[in-house]
Structure 1
Amino acid sequence: MAIKEPSDARSRRDQALTACCVAAAAESDPMLPPTRRASMLMDCLSVLRSAHPVDRAAQIDMRTFRNGLREPLGALLPTAGATADQFDAMRLFDAHGLVRDAVEDLCREHLVPHVALKQHWSWARVHAEQEERRLYEILRRLPPEDYRRARSLLGEHPAGPVKTLRREWDRLWMRFDFFEAVSDWPWCQLDGWWYPCPECHWPMRVLRHKTTVEVRCEAHAAFGVHYRYVPGSGRDQPAPLVATGKRAKPVQGLPASTEHLALTRPVWRYGTLPTLMELHLRNEVAGLPHLHVEMWLGKLRPDEYDLHITAAAPGQRKRTWRVDAKAWESVPALGTALLERSAPNFPLTIVLPDHQKGERHYLAARLRGRRTSVTTCSRLIKSVRTACGVPR
């Protein structure tokens, strides 16, 4: 039986988490006017208080709230029943006092419905699930060949010069309106230039410390995609970057102009990153004996699965995986979103990135009884190799 949490308690905790994430983003935005920041913090404090019982809410003033944002979040969040999650120990700011890259994703993933928030917030935020659904509504209307092409392009060409993007996307270009000008994104600009991640090709974030400037990919920094800026170049040339991570391949800076576009953050997070996981899985098992792999069939709902793997080695039981890769920052929020779907009528395998291996059992427990298993990229690759009779 799947683990069930009190819906009201879970909703109140999500509401509080959203308020904390939005407040942290406001606190760290140097371009936000002070009066606007103060207004947003007051709104967030009201939302946070409303998530707590009256006696506890009275104890949370603005000073407590702002100080609590820089401590483990457990002191600010209401409980969600007996089930614990990782947010009690989470910090929204890093050791340098800068807001963590993942805060924006957490805010989207835990955003409670707008109807429940509008009594507190007059300003709207993008809901990741809405953007994801809009993307897949466009994808599912495409013929199978165009659907597969579009999925591949999400992973291979999520950003770049507009001329290159138009050429690569070709006839699909006019079907997608998910690109924005990099010139509108100050967080990824360094002296008028931006740097694509060598793994996902999306703009990397620029982080200015007191004495150094760091450039890193939000999704791949944990794997070693991070750099240090070395001053010295003029503004007519991109600043050189020194690799500080094991996967920090050389990258070329590009002009942060209106002629350079990138997919919106939700489409990158929930479209590009899962696509790259699926391509990695396919490439890692390609050429194995007794194996058949199909990707992006375009016949089912895109939110069911995207990778169909069948292994039928002689003398071994036939194995089949219907794979749905997920690249959410918050595994608890992913679990909630999956539980809101109808249970699949076939065995489904949810694949998480390797760095979330510690949360695999948590998600599997929440989805118990729904014909859904949970694994990671590396574990699935090992299972497929074993089913093909190939040593790991």
Structure 2
Amino acid sequence: MAAAAESDPLLPPARRASMLMDYLGVLRATHPPERAAAIDMGAFRRGLREPLGALLPPAGEPADRFDALRLFDEHGVLRDAVEDLCREHLVPHPALERHWTWGRVRAEQEERRLYETLRRLSPEEYRRARTLLCEHPAGGLRELRRAWDGLWMRFDFFETVSDWPWSRLEGWWYPCPMCRWPMRVVAHGSTVDVRCEAHAARGVHYRCAPGGRGSGPVPLVGTGRAAVAVQGVPATTEHLALTRPVWRYGTLPTLLELALRDALVGLPHTRVGMWPGTVRPDEYDLHIEVTVPGRRRRVWRVDAKAWESTTALAGMLEQRDVLPYALTIVLPDHQADDRHFLTARLRGRRMTVTTVGRLVAAVRAACGAVPR
């Protein structure tokens, strides 16, 4: 992960420095104290571009040592084999657990891999992939292959639903009606709840219907305001879903962006573009332009964020370079109370913070649409 951060030309310098400090702390914890003190940031960054022997902790066994391994090729490009080595050899370590849980390490790797894959796409492919992450995050293998088409072999971010015991109810899984990803099954004694991790607070939760079970999926009774009828799907090896980190950091933000677009499309004098960047399609998410004859043109460059922790989001945004244009950070409506905290943290960075509902109201007012 340190090598990936070191080699990413699009990573803001402050963000890179923060990540490398984190990784250096993990590496130092694998060494005896007297050796750890000698590995400062300079030694760490040099060691990433040299044979790895100087950075590795003492070996318990001679097998699978990587003393001579180089992470970068002769042109300074991260070697393709690094990802394979991470998949094959990176294992939990007590020192790692003190800094990060194993789950966090896997999530960090998967999130980085997603964004690196997206960045290698053309602008057209990027926009299509972002939409597919939202519209087809789970389903039957044939259905997914048909939907993803030429992008299927480039997006190996799917796992078999049958390997996720938390999503199965007597051999069936249930897609969330909002995000289409498998909902979680939670048993409380004789009661079984089924709910979406991301949308339970918005009313996507169910309970098993008592009795009347046949050979098909267990019927669910909606217990939330957004619990529309859902059909159970067989939890077989032929049914796949995006990994949790990709769903969390790829699907959920895209849902927010598309919901915002759908609320604005069709308004008078208003033009909405999705992922409009030409050099980097992920530069920001929506470009909203309102041009009313006789009035000043209004423009919003929107970056939608679906983070659980507003504090963590603030830390990430503070590490960005100051932008050459004004950026509007949009939060889900249920995080309306957090916008004041985020605004205070981002003061002086050319960023304003609002929510989906507030931005829609502002655009409608600017274009002269009748208020809802």
TM-score using structure 2 length: 0.71
Of 178, 186, 190, the residue aligned with 1:199 is 178
Does residue 160 of structure 1 match 2:155? no
Q: Is the 8 A contact 2:126 2:281 kept in 1?
A: no
SS, match of residue 294 in structure 1: strand
Q: 2: distance between equivalents of 1:116 and 1:358? A: 39
Decide whether aligned partners of structure 1 residues 330 and 129 sit closer, same or farther in structure 2, where only a CA change above 3 A counts: same
- The residue that corresponds to 1:83 in the other structure is none
Question: Aligned AA for 2:329?
Answer: I
What SS does the corresponding residue of 2:102 show, helix, strand or coil?
A: coil
- Residue-by-residue CA offset, 1:177-210 (whole Å, 9 max, x unaligned): 1111111111111111100000100011111112
Name the amino acid aligned to 2:103: R
Distance 1:340 1:184 in 2: 37
223 and 266 in structure 1: CA distance in 2 versus 1, 3 angstrom threshold: same
Aligned ranges 1:1-392 → 2 under 5 Å: 118=96, 120=98, 124-127=102-105, 128-232=107-211, 234=213, 236-392=215-371
Structure 1 residues 121 and 142, CA gap change in structure 2 (3 angstroms): closer
Q: For residues 59-117 of structure 1, give each alpha carbon's deviation from its aligned partner in whole angstroms, at most 9, with x where no partner exists.
A: xxxxxxxxxxxxxxxxxxxxxxxxxxxxxxxxxxxxxxxxxxxxxxxxxxxxxxx9996
On the 8 A contact 1:270/1:326 being kept in 2, the answer is no
**Alpha-carbon distance change, 314 to 130 in structure 1, aligned in 2, over 3 angstroms:** farther
Deviations 1:111-133 (A, max 9, x none): xxx99963836973334454333
CA drift at 1:169: 0.2
Change (3 A) 1:332 1:229: same
| 1-structure distance, mates of 2:334, 2:295 | 31
Secondary structure of 1:242's aligned partner: strand
SS at match of 1:125: helix
Instruction: Give, in angstroms, the shift of residue 247 of structure 1.
Output: 1.1
The answer to which of 349-358 and 224-233 deviates more is 224-233
Report the AA paired with residue 346 of structure 1: Y
Which fold has the larger relative contact order, with Cα–Cα distance below 8 Å and residues 6 or more apart in sequence? 1
Q: Which runs of 5+ in 1 are unaligned?
A: 1-7, 16-113
Q: CA RMSD in A?
A: 2.6
Question: Which structure: larger Rg?
Answer: 2
Aligned to 2:131, the other structure's residue is in SS state helix
Q: Is the 8 A contact 1:316 1:387 kept in 2?
A: no
| Aligned partners of 1:223 and 1:247 also within 8 Å | yes
TM-score normalised over the length of structure 1: 0.68
Aligned equivalents of 1:285, 1:298: Cα separation in 2: 19
CA distance in 2, matches of 1:119, 1:130: 15
Mapped to 2, the partners of 1:148 and 1:157 lie a distance apart of 14
- Summarize the Cα distance change of 1:144–1:120 in structure 2 as closer, same or farther, 3 Å threshold: closer
Corresponding position of 1:50? none
Equivalent-residue separation in structure 1 for 2:233 and 2:94 (angstroms): 42
Runs of 5+ unmatched residues, structure 2: 1-17, 26-91
Distance 2:100 2:305 in 1: 31
Q: Distance in 2 between matches of 1:336 and 1:386?
A: 32
Separation of aligned partners in 2, 1:253 and 1:175: 29
Q: Using the aligned pairs only, state the percent identity.
A: 63
Indicate if the aligned counterparts of 1:354 and 1:378 stay in contact, CA closer than 8 A. Answer: yes
Deviation per residue, 1:335-388 (Å, 9 max, x gap):
111112222221111111111111111111111111011111111111111111
CA separation in 1, counterparts of 2:136 and 2:245? 15
Take 1:117 and 1:357, find their aligned partners in 2: how far apart are those partners?
39
- For residue 235 of structure 1, report the CA deviation from its aligned partner: 6.8
Q: Which amino acid aligns with 1:126?
A: R
Code of the residue aligned with 1:361 in structure 2: it is: H
